[in-house]
Amino acid sequence: MKYSQIVSLIAHTAKAAPNQATMIWGAPGCGKSHAATIGLRDALGLPSVPVTHEDSAVVMFRPSNHDPVDVTGLPNLVDGVTTWSPPDFLLRVNAMAKRYGTALLVIDELNQAVPMMFNTLNGLMLDRHVGRVTLDPGVRVVATGNRQTDKAASNRMPSHTANRLLHLDMESDLDGWTEWALTAGMPMWLIAFLRFKPELLNQFDADRRENPTERTWEMVGLTTGDDCPKELAFPIATGLVGPGAAAEVSAFREIVESMPNPDAVLMDPDNIRLPGTGERGALFALCGAIAHRATKENFDRVVRYTKRIPPEFGVLTVRDAFKRNASISSSRAFVEWVSANSGVLN
List, for residues 229-254, the tens digit of each pLDDT value: 888 999 999 999 999 999 999 988 88
**Same structural domain for residues 116 and 250?**
no
Residue 149 belongs to what domain range?
A: 3-169
Among residues 148, 169, 190, the one where a domain terminates is 169
For position 14, which CATH number holds?
3.40.50.300
Q: How far apart are the first and last CA of the chain?
A: 23
Report which residue type is found at 6.
Answer: I
Phi and psi (nearest 5°) for 118? -55, -45
Q: Give the C-alpha separation, 173 to 175, whole Å.
A: 6
pLDDT tens for 120-129 read 888 888 889 8
pLDDT tens for 1-13 read 888 899 999 999 9
**Same structural domain for residues 103 and 250?**
no
> Dihedral sign, CA of 227, 229, 234, 238?
negative
Q: Give the C-alpha separation, 267 to 262, whole Å.
A: 9
Residue 230: exposure state from Cβ atoms within 10 A (0-12, 13-18, ≥19):
exposed
User: Is the distance from CB of 291 to CB of 187 less than 8 angstroms?
Assistant: no
Q: Give the C-alpha separation, 2 to 205, whole Å.
A: 20
Q: Which residues contact 346 (CB under 8 A, 6 or more apart)?
A: none
**Same structural domain for residues 45 and 147?**
yes
- Number of domains forming the structure of the chain: 2
Q: Is the pLDDT assigned to residue 76 strictly greater than 90?
A: no
User: Is the distance from CB of 260 to CB of 286 less than 8 angstroms?
Assistant: yes
pLDDT tens for 205-234 read 878 889 999 999 999 999 998 888 888 999
Among residues 169, 195, 212, the one where a domain terminates is 169
**Same structural domain for residues 181 and 165?**
no
Among residues 169, 190, 205, the one where a domain terminates is 169
Question: What pLDDT does residue 216 have?
Answer: 94
Report which residue type is found at 217.
Answer: W
Q: Which residue has the higher pLDDT, 258 or 294?
A: 294
User: What interhelical angle do 3-16 and 174-184 show, nearest 10?
Assistant: 90
| HSE value, Cβ hemisphere, 13 Å, CA-based, for 60 | 18
Question: What pLDDT does residue 345 have?
Answer: 56
**Same structural domain for residues 198 and 336?**
yes
pLDDT band at 343 (very low <50, low <70, confident <90, very high): low
Question: What pLDDT does residue 283 have?
Answer: 86
Question: What pLDDT does residue 149 have?
Answer: 65
Question: What pLDDT does residue 142 have?
Answer: 95
**Same structural domain for residues 109 and 127?**
yes
**Same structural domain for residues 160 and 216?**
no
